[in-house]
Amino acid sequence: MTINTLEPIVEEVVKRIRERNMIEVEASGRHVHLSEKDLYALFGDNYELQINKKLSQPGQFQAKEKVMLVGKKGVIKDVSILGPVRSETQVEISKTDALVLGVNPPVRDSGDIMGSENVIILSKNGFIQVKEGVIIAKRHIHMTKQDAEYFKVKDKEIVKVKVYGERPLIFDDVLIRVSNNYNLNMHIDYDEANACGYFKGVKAEIIK
């Protein structure tokens, strides 16, 4: 076997290894997670969210229902609700959204809402005052335990990730979230998506 015949084989092996190390990226727009109590306050007793489309993470979906966010300086209409219901209501927005609303939410991991910003959520049927629960979601990667072993990372670890968008960009401070209930995906918000020239199907690579 000559060098010329080996080169295509080597290139194909390298390509397959590179593809295995890639993680699909999803851009997540502003959205709301509602507690059961707040869902009923907004839409009526015993109300159930209607599924518009299923999301990449198992069991999660975007609902048909929309709400409005009312802040100190402005409003944002037609905000998506993600289901199913949670134990506590949480609002995830970008820094640009925060400027529109006139709020200053912290950058947090999902679920870490203590001492975070407040906002009013308005529906056609009612409204609620969220006293704390508004955050900018920390960019993160969902993965299973098997994925974590492959990538040699652990739950809550912070890594650097290169996103190969139209404007390739290395993101620091990316949180690893490990659970066998997850599918492998990296999540960024629209501000971050615009910065790296995001397009659907774009891939990323953990940098060691």
Rounded Cα gap, residues 154 and 148, in angstroms:
6
The band of 206, judged by pLDDT with boundaries at 50, 70 and 90, is very high
**Does residue 3 lie in a domain region?**
no
Asked if residue 189 and residue 109 are part of one domain, the reply reads no
Given a cut of 50, is residue 167 above it in pLDDT?
yes
Point out the domain boundary residue: 103, 137, 171: 137
Asked if residue 109 and residue 66 are part of one domain, the reply reads yes
Cα separations in angstroms, 57 against 26, 116, 120: 11, 25, 27
Would you give the DSSP letter of residue 106? P
Domain of 63?
29-137
**Does residue 160 lie in a domain region?**
yes
Asked if residue 130 and residue 33 are part of one domain, the reply reads yes
Asked if residue 60 and residue 98 are part of one domain, the reply reads yes
Q: How do residues 103-161 score in pLDDT, each as one tens digit?
A: 999 999 999 999 999 999 999 999 999 999 999 999 999 999 999 999 999 999 999 99
Rounded Cα gap, residues 151 and 153, in angstroms:
6
Asked if residue 161 and residue 124 are part of one domain, the reply reads no
pLDDT value of residue 14 = 44
- How many structural domains does the chain have? 2
Among 200, 207, 206, smallest CA distance to 27 is for 200
Average pLDDT over residues 168-182: 97
pLDDT value of residue 20 = 79
Q: How do residues 86-106 score in pLDDT, each as one tens digit?
A: 999 999 999 999 999 999 999
pLDDT value of residue 127 = 97
Asked if residue 91 and residue 64 are part of one domain, the reply reads yes
Rounded Cα gap, residues 51 and 62, in angstroms:
6
Asked if residue 162 and residue 83 are part of one domain, the reply reads no
**Does residue 87 lie in a domain region?**
yes
Contact status, residue 138 vs residue 107, Cβ threshold 8 Å: yes
Q: How many CB atoms lie within 10 A of CB 66?
A: 14
Point out the domain boundary residue: 110, 137, 164: 137
Asked if residue 111 and residue 51 are part of one domain, the reply reads yes
CATH code for position 184? 2.40.40.20
Asked if residue 154 and residue 117 are part of one domain, the reply reads no
**Does residue 61 lie in a domain region?**
yes
Asked if residue 191 and residue 173 are part of one domain, the reply reads yes
Structure tokens at 189: 């918000």
**Does residue 23 lie in a domain region?**
no
Asked if residue 150 and residue 110 are part of one domain, the reply reads no
Point out the domain boundary residue: 93, 109, 137: 137
Asked if residue 89 and residue 102 are part of one domain, the reply reads yes
